[in-house]
Each structure stands twice: as C-alpha cells, then as structure tokens.
Structure 1
Amino acid sequence: MRYCTASPSFWPAFPPLTCQVLHGDYSAVNLLFDGDTLTAVLDFLPPAPFLVAYEVGRIAFDPRTVVLNNDWIAAGVNLVGAYLDTNPHLPAADVTACARVALLQLMTSLYGVKQHYLKPGLIQQDLDQFWLLRHAAASRLLGNLDDVENALAQVAHRR
C-alpha cells in the first residue's frame, strides 16, 4: 500500500491517504448492468496511481445521489460500508476523507468547460444540466460535510 499526501493551501491538511491504480471515472454512467448484474465497466483512462478516497468518494457521493436522493448521506455511507465489507483493510483516514475529496473534485474539475465554451454543440443543454447538478451537489455536500464525515468516521471505526 502506498500513501499520498494531499493538502491544498485553501483546505485543511489531509492525513496521509492510500494510493493505488484506479479506474479514474468509476461512476454510474460508466457502468453497464443486465438487471442487477454488473456486466461491463467503460471509459478506462490509462492506469495511474491516485487516492483511493477519490474513487470511493466519487462513487458514494455522485452528484445524482447527493441531489436526487433525500437520504443521500445514508446512501453514501451505506455504499462506503459495503465497500469496506469487501475491502476491510482500507485505513479509516481514507474512509473519513472520501466525501471531502469528492467535494474537492466537484469544486475544481473543469470537465465539460471546453465543450461548453470553445466548441458548443448539440449537447449544450445537457452540459448546462450537468453543471447545475454538480453545483447543487457541491453546495449540499459542503453544507453537510461535518455530518457526512462524522457518519463516515463511525463506519470506519465499526470494523
């Protein structure tokens, strides 16, 4: 297991967090199901080591979940708990930090900007909806970050 440190100057220092080779965009739109069975994972970037908290946080606190599910905190924490059932060796610091890392990604990612402003096209309305959803998710996650991290800490220490 390799550890990374991530502490942007505008954010409280993170503890050392685990790195491993990740998919990089393991989200609902890149998963294909046949009923309840996962049949394919799409859109792999070249493999690169990065924070496990990034991948777990982006899955558990996907903008669609955060905005469209009234019980989004419980849904995210339940997903992290299920992840821990399969991967029980993930350090508690990674579990507790995953929502903060997901929020940081939401607040700093420029995905879609080039398509929106430099090469507008047929999917302009979809991009607008995408950005409004991300903004709503970031606002909601930021406003509830203490509650989310407390719930994640409880899950991390229950094992």
Structure 2
Amino acid sequence: GRRWEAVGTVVGRLHRGLARHPLGRPTRGPRDRSFDPARARVRLMELVRRYEAEPPRTAFERWAAEAARERLAALPLVERLLAKAPPVTTSQLVHGDLSRPNVLLRGDRVAAVIDFRPPGRRDPMWELGRLALDPRTVLAHEDWPEGLARLVAAYRELHPTPPVEELVSVVRLTASYLGCTVYPLNTVVDGLGPVTPSLEAYAEHRVLAAATLRARLDEAEEVLRDRLT
C-alpha cells in the first residue's frame, strides 16, 4: 500500500509548518544530543552503577542491567557509525514524541497525529528515524529499506530543507540513537512506570532492531541515495 508515502507526507508537512514558526526556523549546527556517545557514556555508567548498588530483583531488571553494560561496552561502535555521518546537521522545532502509537492510521491514510509535547528544537532526522524505523516496523517488514526510501522521498517533497546527505544518514543516526539511549533500561531505577509485558517486549525489540539497522546499513543507505539523487 501507500502507507509509507502517507506517513512521509504528513511528517514533511508537520516539519515544514513548525519550521515557519519564528522560534523554529531551521539552523545548522552540531549534532543532536541523542547522538552523543560521550553523553551516553556518562548516563550508562551511572545506570550501571545504580544497578550494582541495588542488585536487580526481577528478571527485567537483571536483563536491563546486563543490557546497559553491553550498551556501554558497544559505544565505540556508535562512534564509528557517527564518524561517517554529517558532523553539522539541521535543527528546528519538531513534534517531540512522534512515535508509532502517536500517528493514527486508517487503512493506508494518516487519520491523526496526537500527543504533542511543547515543540522543542531537535534534529528532524532524530524524529523522522524514531517514527519510520520503529523497532516493530524494522523487525516485522523485511522490505523496510525500500519503504523507508519511499517515506523519505515523500517527506522531502513537502520539506526539502534537510540536505540529501542528512536524509541518507537517517538509518545510521537511528542506529546510533538506539546505541546511546538509556530508555527503557532505566524504567525501574528512575520510577518511570510499571514494567508491563509490552514494555519488556519493546525493550528487547529495540536491541534487535539496532542490530538489524547496523547489519543492513550499507544496503539501506544505497537505496535511500538512489531514491533521492
């Protein structure tokens, strides 16, 4: 169907509108904080320390503690990914929580975008990748590189501000983001809410999706570049 294009069109229109706000006009600068291995190292080290100070009591906490240690050890891999990403990127006002549950679909059409936070200035590729490369999508759709390319092309038609190289880097940046984030490994220690079966599944899916994005990175970037140039 045309779902990929529909989502890309809606996000492109949204970002174009937010970019017109006097406080949200696109600027160029250092990468978004979500792609900062140094920041991630501090946060992951603190999370590991807290788990060691108070030993995990549940199976999820034990899994999260081990996953945090593995993520910390894998930060050099994130640094290598980012070494080939654009060092200067676009920032502008974005939705802030544009995740899959907040984009309501009716068939192959987008019915609504919900759950706005106060818009903040971020890299639009952070937001685009967070939605388009949702772990459940990456793991459920073998053809996600082709779907992503269609989505990004539709996005670019409505919001051509981000350069092609930034658009092509969306997979690399999303894999880096997943390698830096502490969520949902910090759910218990930070009191973010109950650990439900769906949260446990989502946590594991994020780990698997990050590995999939890295494994198919070259393929996905080639498909994106072919579509956009």
Q: State the TM-score, normalizing by the size of structure 1.
A: 0.84
Distance 1:72 1:127, change over 3 A: same
Cα deviations by residue, 1:16-57 (Å, 9 ceiling, x for unpaired): 211110112212211224455434322322221111111222
Deviates more, 1:20-29 or 1:114-123: 114-123
2:196 matched to which residue of 1? 124
Distance 1:60 1:118, change over 3 A: closer
- CA-atom RMSD in angstroms: 2.4
Answer whether contact 2:185 2:203 (CA < 8 A) is retained.
no
* Structure-1 separation of matches of 2:133 and 2:164: 17
Query: Percent same amino acid among aligned pairs?
Result: 30
Deviates more, 1:7-16 or 1:132-141: 7-16
Whether 1:147 aligns to 2:219 is: yes
Whether 1:95 aligns to 2:120 is: no
SS in 2 for 1:44: coil
Whether 1:12 aligns to 2:37 is: no
Answer whether contact 1:4 1:51 (CA < 8 A) is retained.
no
Larger radius of gyration: 2
Whether 1:112 aligns to 2:184 is: yes
* Structure-2 separation of matches of 1:37 and 1:148: 24
Whether 1:65 aligns to 2:132 is: no
1:54 matched to which residue of 2? 126
SS in 1 for 2:98: coil
Q: Is the helix fraction higher in 1 or 2?
A: 2
- Gap runs ≥5 in structure 2: 1-25, 38-78
**1:128, distance to aligned residue in structure 2 (A):** 1.3
Whether 1:38 aligns to 2:38 is: no
Answer whether contact 2:28 2:90 (CA < 8 A) is retained.
yes
Q: State the TM-score, normalizing by the size of structure 2.
A: 0.60
* Structure-1 separation of matches of 2:162 and 2:207: 29
* Structure-2 separation of matches of 1:117 and 1:151: 40
Cα deviations by residue, 1:79-126 (Å, 9 ceiling, x for unpaired): 111112222343112211111111112122222233345659754322
Distance 1:120 1:83, change over 3 A: closer
* Structure-2 separation of matches of 1:51 and 1:68: 26
How many residues align? The count is 157
- Gap runs ≥5 in structure 1: none
SS in 2 for 1:20: strand
**1:137, distance to aligned residue in structure 2 (A):** 0.6
SS in 2 for 1:134: helix
